[in-house]
Copies of this chain bind each other. A is one copy, B any other.
Amino acid sequence: MKNEKSIKKLEELGQKTLDMINRMEQPYFELPVRSLSNTFFDEKSKTIKMGNKMSKRYFLNTKHTRKYAQTISIAAELKKIIKEQATISIRDLYYALKHTLKNSKENSFENQGESDPIIEDLEASLGLLREELNLAASTKGVISGKLKIKDGKDTIDLSKMGSGGWGVPSNVEPDTIEIKDLDADFVLFIEKDAVWKRFNEDKFWKKHNCIIITGKGQPSRAERRLAQRLNKEFNLPIFSLMDADPWGFYIYSVIKRGSISLSYSEEKLATPDTKYIGLTISDIDKYKIPPEVFMKLSPEDLKRIKDMKNYPWFKNKLWQKELNLMKTKNVKLELEALSRKRIRFITEEYLPDKIRNKDFLP
């Protein structure tokens, strides 16, 4: 059964509570503190991580009682849906549990803003991804290239997806998604859907023996997790292709190091081996990109550049140079700007050239 080990962890949680009640002790949970102050960059895993600070949630503390009951109720529901082998959204979970308590006007949950953080508490304290608790996050991405995916009884050949690509599902864990017949040398992680379409139409993945994936903007958990699996389990290098703007750099940073809000899961989502293949402001001179396609930085861009210069993983000569160059030139550049050269410049010249010259940023 899928996610059977998660049931055990949920039952342990319940058993502990029961034991405390039987011993006439006050029941409590121990939960990791999910705040910025308990988030750090872990030099060992090379990802953003949650620290060791713990807090306690007591049933008999009136400030905690509501949350305590909600935690128990969510844990019980998760056990139930895993047993039913159903995958549900966090919105489903909220509705499934929402009810008015007997002989009262009190609702179990007032809104989803109450249930979502408790799901995160459980993920963090049990050391499980939400996908391992049969919860489905939303997904946007598509993928194609030289591999097959075994998903349930279906074997899906990602080199035969036509112009559409396979829609990345929310759960790409090994017991759901098996990676088969992998015949690729690297993964190209593309920020924009329109650019992915260019690479797919030009069958870039065929000519260059690779896999192309996009999260259509900021990628969902599933696209990041799938890239991580391809890197960790199959040693495939991951190359990120983003706009040369602070937002593109930030998306790269999340793919590589993770995000603060998901720090408790980043060890399983981030891919520290990722390299940045483009677009950069240095490319302007290298590829003679005409100034007509430049865009000016906004005040928000400038703030973001300042912030990023202080990220530990951008504290590197090459990145500092790029960030400074962007600021002093007051220029940002979209991937589509390369269409000014010619429509297939990006797939036929730019990327092959970058790969040949190993022109990456760390």
Binding site for B on A (CB under 8 A): 81, 84, 86-89, 91-96, 98-100, 107, 136, 138-140, 142, 149-152, 154-156, 160-171, 176-177, 193-194, 197-198, 201-202, 216, 290, 292-293, 334, 336-340, 342-344
Chain copies in the assembled complex: 2
A151 engages B170 (CB within 8 Å): no
- Show 25 A/B contacts (Cβ-Cβ < 8 Å), sorted by A: A87-B163, A87-B201, A89-B197, A89-B336, A91-B336, A92-B194, A92-B198, A92-B339, A95-B334, A95-B340, A96-B339, A96-B342, A98-B340, A138-B194, A139-B193, A140-B216, A151-B161, A151-B163, A152-B162, A152-B163, A154-B161, A163-B169, A164-B168, A165-B166, A165-B169
**Which residue of B has the minimal Cβ distance to A157?**
B154
Minimum-distance CB pairs A-B, first 7: A151-B162, A89-B194, A163-B169, A142-B167, A164-B169, A92-B339, A154-B160
Q: For residue A177, which residues in chain B have a CB less than 8 angstroms away from its CB?
A: 162
Instruction: Report whether B161 and A88 are in contact in the complex, using a CB–CB cutoff of 8 Å.
Output: no
Query: What residues on B are CB-neighbors of A162 within 8 Å?
Result: 149-152, 154, 156, 169, 177
A273 to chain B, nearest CB (A): 25
Majority secondary structure, A binding face: mixed
